[in-house]
Amino acid sequence: MFPLTVAIFSLFSYAVVAEDCLTALNWSTGKGRILLNGQPFVLKGVNYFGFETETFAPHGLWSKSLDGLLDFVRNNNFNAIRLPFSMEMALKNPAHPNVNCQANPRICKLNALDLMGAFIDSCAARGILVMLDSHRLSQGGGITELWYDKGYYTEARVLEAWDIILNRFGSKWNVFAIDLKNEPHGAASWGWKKQDTDWNWAAERFIKLFKNTRHFKHIGARHGNFKGLFFVEGVQANAASPNKNSPTHFWGENLEGVTWNPVKTGNRNLDARIVYSPHVYGPDVFNQAYFKVGNFPANMPDIWNMHFGFAKDRTGHPVVLGEWGGHYRPGSPDEKWQNALADWLHKKCMTDQFYWCLNPNSGDTGGLLNDDWSTANTRKLNLLTRVVPHPTKVKRTNGQICVTHGRYLNSDCHKADQTTISSDSTASQEQYASDGHLESGVKPE
């Protein structure tokens, strides 16, 4: 009896998995979800770093083939890669990235930008989407607190680098998102009404460059080809927030400022493409006081909710972890932390995420690949299968892009699609005039 029931159930679930094919993907957000062609996009993402470093190439290509590494990503059911790069890489386009010619004969002589193009196309061939992530200013300088520095990398120069990247890659079908700045921290503030440190204002300024109305044709022409999503990370401290004595945050984790100062550009189309993207880590990366208390990890959901989880219901925008991870060693506090986070993501319908990372050479986390760059950490892969068992699938065939919609394990997450987030949707109706410009915003330009 039981096996029969299972068989019937799978038949039904198979029957509702529809494929839809279009000439271009339509990205938006709604009710706390990323929407692809109007339906929830179930994201299973992984970070793959290297372009932002001194190699000016994804790591591992110094010995392994790109095709083999991307096959690993695809075969483990990931549908997206977050791809860090540096502004220096974009502006200088170094001629000799570190790529082994025997393993990669087709791509080993390319300059950095051509290599990035080849990387994106190799992802496209496997139905892997790419998020371009502005991870560092210069390859050697570490991650800066702000989105610019007081030296060479002025805000104007950073935008120039984005111009180069978007002119080249912004209209590739599988470039579905850009991450405006990796891990604002230190001096970065949110809602302090300070031009030179308010990350929320900088994000708004940046996203407005994508306005493509008849009033803004000159600027629209600059970036109008990019139709994907804008990922906005949090800050570390310095958020104007209703929370008193909020426990300390990781870099980019703090979205508390969203309560009073959500990112809004005044343009309905652009605002519908904004995703909040905190980074959060466990004891392997930094042993916060709240990892050392007796009831850990049962204390974590309240902290995650206060730091960033609330923002999904509060704003109706998706909240998608851009980085999380750790060594996941058996019996370790980090393993407890990752399991607790996975459970909480299910409850919150927030399982869309990018895991850190594919690379084994991330000292404080390790990778999905072991140090040999070929065998897998199956415990981590199993964890991620549990987090996202049924990701959305995309593939390109005969000039069309076909989508097989995914499913969340927690069926309540699909029920939530039927409901509206009443307070926020009413507010946004009121704020937009018919031309899509903000009528009664709370902030000066």
- 429 vs 196, 383, 440, CA distance in Å? 31, 40, 11
Handedness of CA 122, 127, 128, 132 (dihedral sign): positive
The string of DSSP letters for 377-394 reads -HHHHHHHHHH-SB--EE
| Polymer length in residues for the chain | 445
Number of residues that bind ligand NAG (CB under 6 A): 4
- Contact between 445 and 266 under an 8 Å Cβ cutoff? The reply is no
Q: Report the residue closest to ligand NAG, judged by CB.
A: 38
**Closer to ligand NAG by Cβ: residue 27 or 48:** 27
**Closer to ligand NAG by Cβ: residue 30 or 117:** 30
**Closer to ligand NAG by Cβ: residue 26 or 378:** 26
Report how far residue 427's alpha carbon sits from residue 149's, in angstroms, rounded to the nearest whole number: 36
- Contact between 61 and 100 under an 8 Å Cβ cutoff? The reply is yes
Active-site annotation holder among 183, 204, 253, 335? 183
**Closer to ligand NAG by Cβ: residue 37 or 63:** 37
Question: Does residue 155 have an active-site annotation?
Answer: no
- Contact between 188 and 135 under an 8 Å Cβ cutoff? The reply is no
Q: Is the peptide bond before 84 cis (omega within 30 degrees of 0)?
A: no
- 360 vs 82, 127, 369, CA distance in Å? 16, 23, 5
Closest distance to ligand NAG from the beta carbon of 267 (Å): 15
23 binds ligand NAG, rule: CB under 6 A = no
225 binds ligand NAG, rule: CB under 6 A = no
- 50 vs 145, 252, 281, CA distance in Å? 20, 20, 20
- Contact between 170 and 119 under an 8 Å Cβ cutoff? The reply is no
Question: Does residue 183 have an active-site annotation?
Answer: yes
**Closer to ligand NAG by Cβ: residue 211 or 279:** 211
Residues 6+ apart with CB under 8 A from 349: 32, 312, 408, 410, 412, 413, 416
Active-site annotation holder among 88, 204, 256, 323? 323
Tokens matching residue 406: 């995914």
Q: 27-30 and 229-232 as β-strands: parallel, antiparallel, unpaired?
A: unpaired
**Closer to ligand NAG by Cβ: residue 28 or 361:** 28
26 binds ligand NAG, rule: CB under 6 A = yes
Report the site for ligand NAG in 28-47 (rule: CB under 6 A). Answer: 28, 35, 38
Q: Give CA 23 to chain center in angstroms.
A: 24
Nearest to 252 by CA among 159, 190, 206, 195: 190
Residues identified as active-site: 183, 323
Q: Which residues bind ligand NAG (CB under 6 A)?
A: 26, 28, 35, 38
